Structure 1
Amino acid sequence: MDFKEPPTLCDTAIQCLLHHEPLAIQALQEIPGELFVPLFTAALKGRHEKILSAMVKSWPFFCLHVGPLSMQEAQPTLWKVMVESLFPAENPAFRSPKLRILDLTQHPGCKTKCPVITTTCKPCVRSCAYSERSLMKVQSQCSNSSSESEGQSPKTTMELLVSLSLDRSFRENEYFALLLSKVEQSLGSLHLCCRDLRIKNLSECRSALSHLDLKCVSHLAVVKASLISVLSLLEQAVNLDSLSLSKITCRSFNGRAFRNFLSQLSCKDHLKELSLSSFCLTDHLEHVLRVLPADLDFLQLPFCELSYSDFKFLSQCPQANHLKLLDISNNSICWEDCEPFYCLLENLSGTLQHLAINHCLLTDATLSILAPALSRCSHLRLFSFSSNPITMPMLRRILEYLTPMTQLKYVIYPIPVHCYERWHGRCSLDPQKLGAVNAQLKIMLQEAEREDMRWITYTG
């Protein structure tokens, strides 16, 4: 019988406070700062909006990060509660707040609060470093300003770190309106710092973008736009770590727009992740890759209509020699000569962790050639090659190649062609045959003592 560890005295006290909200809010004036983080975590998990609001108003630390905490579907409501609690009116019921940075992004690497400030580190690891309206630069200007009288205290300034999706949905518009309202209410004391920005239908979001400082954006995603309109964003978003462009129209690879696009990419020295989806690059991938940083980590090129010459250059260029993630799904790899792809896998054998080659028309013959190079990718953790026309014997052979790879935990495999009456007809799938395939794979994994490796497929 499994026994759960009994709750600690701290856990019991926190649950008692959560069940008596007025008592909890009143206790915020007295409880030690060490209890704020576990109480905040519990209040967030239990969706205690009044307690959360009071805690933001009296937060005793420099910063508050919600990224490490799971909020799921409660996010929009709880975000609004916390934003509305910024710049509270003076109230003797709350201790004097020290909060200067409220981080509502989903950054996984942050603790709920940063360590105590020392002389050798920044007050907060996520504080804005680029905008002229950032907290650090405003405070620096205040401390260096000779015009400020000696007895006058500097104006309280704050930063609100957010991720935004501008897609014209009612919920997103309502949230964005609240953010702008709070900025206006602060009379210049609140810096809205958008780190992750996703834009759908760029032409309809121009007015919203005018309220943001794009220097702050580190992750930019744009869906459905012309390349010319994207250029104006890239000119301002000069500190990108990640860029994702999908369904971008380009009239000519010989025109000024494409040349300016390459010029903007060449200026993104910090770029680690690039995704170009539904962006036709046939015989022009070379021009894009040449201007990218040599230490690129993630490269995603689905639906880019890549040619044999594109793959050949990809296998040779230094920008693709250290990738951790490569997604080339939905590009036909049906040539007789597979040497470029084979060389690419060999070059990435020491770094590649995630490989996706779904729906690439890979056949048994092609996979039999690639399998040895694939098996040498010793750091691979996820391999996805679904929707390719392969047979059951080849699937078994691939499994035998992959089971010795101890770091590989997830494989998304194609349904073998014998399970369909017609391979291209989704409605012709025979569930019984697919069930037999799953059973065989399970037995093979057990025999190889790799029950920690999950093999899954998609039937849709």
Structure 2
Amino acid sequence: MAQNAVDTLLNLAIKSLLSNESATIRALEELPIDLFVPLFKSAFLGRQKKILKAMVRVWPFRCLHIGTLQPQETNYDIFEAMIDGLQLPPDQNSSSGNLQIDNLSAHRSSLQIVDLVCTDRLELENAHLRDVNTLLSQLIHLESLSLTDVERRSSKGRNFTAFLACLKKLDNLEELSFSFFCLTNQLHKLLRVLQPQLDSLSLTFCDLSNRDIIALSQSTQAIHLKLLKLSNNQLVWEFHEPLLNLLENVSSTLQYLEINNCQITDSVLSSILPALSHCSHLRIFSFACNPITVPVLMNLVQHLTPLMELRYVIYPVPVDCYEQWDLNGSLDQEKLAAVKAQLNLMLQMAQREDMKWTTFPR
């Protein structure tokens, strides 16, 4: 059947559904999943609020994106209908709502109709800290906060001070994620206002310094963390004690550790091996894109195989598998294959075939 014929049949089916609101609403539970998106678009453009409200309640996908529909100011009632569909009674939905905003300034008017009190997870991308503060001041039950690409000079001045004041009021916050948010020498201020029950901390592309690692190692949050991501911070390891102390403090709770592209050298990795080997609940360890040699990598394997909960390790291609020592030369596939064979043999000898080691080439 020609594609235009299929499109015509689909349009006719949707038109038929939308012509009878009550019948469509009753049929939503049995509606084929492929029809949800085109039906939603047509109902949105046709301003059929009852159908939209009912569709949101039974939406079969993880996300509902409406940005491509380009709603106008006159569509506030359409937004209200969809939000009403999300606000189920507490006995049907004990949790609050997954609020995700890619460009805060572009959606500022739409936020006026959202009940932010019900929000417990907030993800913001491409925002100024001033606008973030305005939004955070309206949230009282936030459990998870993710900020990506916040204006780089935001960690200094009045806006950052106001941001810290907002964070201090978030008594339920358990997960915090920053990416492309400059925090150089400012992390101690941030940690000072966070609740001690924080169990997930992600600080990637945050321009962290040694001073920041020291602050983190000495924080009360460190003893509770289950997830820690410090990837893509170009640290200069003048001394290794802060990272060692940090790992010792999180060793009883940590399950996920990610330190990709952090200038972890042989000496740094060797110094933290004792602390790593005490992380008895560690499940995933990723340290890709760091300049490590084969002997230190094999020493790491010996230290980590006794960790029975550890299942996945993502490691860098050792520098001695490249023609040039600085990882900019071409990769010698035969050397890499030999490294992988040696590693697999060590896992077999340790009876840890359940542990998967994989490379993430630079």
Equivalent in 32, 37, 48 of residue 77 of structure 1: 37
* 1:443 is the counterpart of 2:345: yes
* 1:365 match: 267
Q: How does 1:353-432 map to 2 (within 5 A)?
A: 353-422=255-324, 428-432=330-334
**What whole-Å deviation, never above 9, does each CA across 1:324-371 have from its counterpart, x for those lacking one?**
000011123432311111111111111000000110111111111100
Deviation at 1:237, TM superposition (A): 2.5
* 2:93 match: none
**Unpaired stretches in structure 1, ≥5 consecutive residues:** 1-49, 59-70, 89-98, 107-161
**What whole-Å deviation, never above 9, does each CA across 1:363-386 have from its counterpart, x for those lacking one?**
111111100100000000000000
Choose 1 or 2 for highest CA Rg: 1
Determine helix, strand or coil for the equivalent of 1:301.
Answer: strand
* 1:102 is the counterpart of 2:102: no
Q: Is the 8 A contact 2:314 2:358 kept in 1?
A: yes
Give me the TM-score of the superposition, normalised by structure 1: 0.63
Change (3 A) 1:56 1:459: same
* 2:27 match: 54
Deviation at 1:290, TM superposition (A): 0.7
Counterpart Cα distance in 1 of 2:141 and 2:110: 20
* 1:181 is the counterpart of 2:78: yes
Deviation at 1:79, TM superposition (A): 9.2
Change (3 A) 1:183 1:252: closer
**What whole-Å deviation, never above 9, does each CA across 1:131-170 have from its counterpart, x for those lacking one?**
xxxxxxxxxxxxxxxxxxxxxxxxxxxxxxx85557x4x2
Change (3 A) 1:239 1:449: same
> Which residue identity lines up with residue 27 of structure 2 in the other structure?
A
Q: Is the 8 A contact 1:80 1:178 kept in 2?
A: no
> Which residue identity lines up with residue 303 of structure 2 in the other structure?
Y
Determine helix, strand or coil for the equivalent of 1:238.
Answer: coil
| Identical counterparts, % of pairs | 44
Determine helix, strand or coil for the equivalent of 2:357.
Answer: strand
Deviation at 1:283, TM superposition (A): 1.0
Counterpart Cα distance in 2 of 1:79 and 1:427: 53
Equivalent in 235, 240, 249 of residue 151 of structure 2: 249
Change (3 A) 1:392 1:55: same
Determine helix, strand or coil for the equivalent of 2:204.
Answer: coil
Deviation at 1:183, TM superposition (A): 4.3
Determine helix, strand or coil for the equivalent of 2:348.
Answer: helix
Counterpart Cα distance in 1 of 2:190 and 2:129: 14
* 1:217 is the counterpart of 2:190: no
**What whole-Å deviation, never above 9, does each CA across 1:255-282 have from its counterpart, x for those lacking one?**
2211110000001111000011111111
Change (3 A) 1:273 1:376: same
Change (3 A) 1:57 1:202: same
Change (3 A) 1:269 1:409: same
* 2:211 match: 309
Deviation at 1:77, TM superposition (A): 3.1
> Which residue identity lines up with residue 301 of structure 2 in the other structure?
L
Counterpart Cα distance in 2 of 1:173 and 1:77: 15
Determine helix, strand or coil for the equivalent of 2:148.
Answer: strand
Change (3 A) 1:275 1:75: farther
Counterpart Cα distance in 1 of 2:113 and 2:124: 17
Q: Is the 8 A contact 1:419 1:433 kept in 2?
A: yes
Determine helix, strand or coil for the equivalent of 1:341.
Answer: helix
Change (3 A) 1:252 1:200: closer
Change (3 A) 1:422 1:229: farther
Change (3 A) 1:447 1:192: same
* 1:228 match: 130
Deviation at 1:181, TM superposition (A): 3.1
Q: Is the 8 A contact 1:215 1:238 kept in 2?
A: yes
> Which residue identity lines up with residue 37 of structure 2 in the other structure?
T
Q: How does 1:320-339 map to 2 (within 5 A)?
A: 320-339=222-241
Give me the TM-score of the superposition, normalised by structure 2: 0.79
RMSD: 3.5
> Which residue identity lines up with residue 144 of structure 2 in the other structure?
S
Q: Is the 8 A contact 2:28 2:55 kept in 1?
A: no
Q: Is the 8 A contact 1:290 1:319 kept in 2?
A: no
Counting matched residue pairs gives 325
Q: Is the 8 A contact 1:163 1:195 kept in 2?
A: no
* 1:199 is the counterpart of 2:154: no
Determine helix, strand or coil for the equivalent of 2:57.
Answer: strand
Asked which structure has the greater RCO (Cα within 8 Å, sep 6+), the reply is 2
Determine helix, strand or coil for the equivalent of 1:251.
Answer: helix
Counterpart Cα distance in 2 of 1:181 and 1:192: 15
> Which residue identity lines up with residue 267 of structure 2 in the other structure?
A
Counterpart Cα distance in 2 of 1:199 and 1:189: 19
Q: Is the 8 A contact 1:382 1:409 kept in 2?
A: yes
Deviation at 1:182, TM superposition (A): 7.5
Counterpart Cα distance in 2 of 1:52 and 1:452: 48
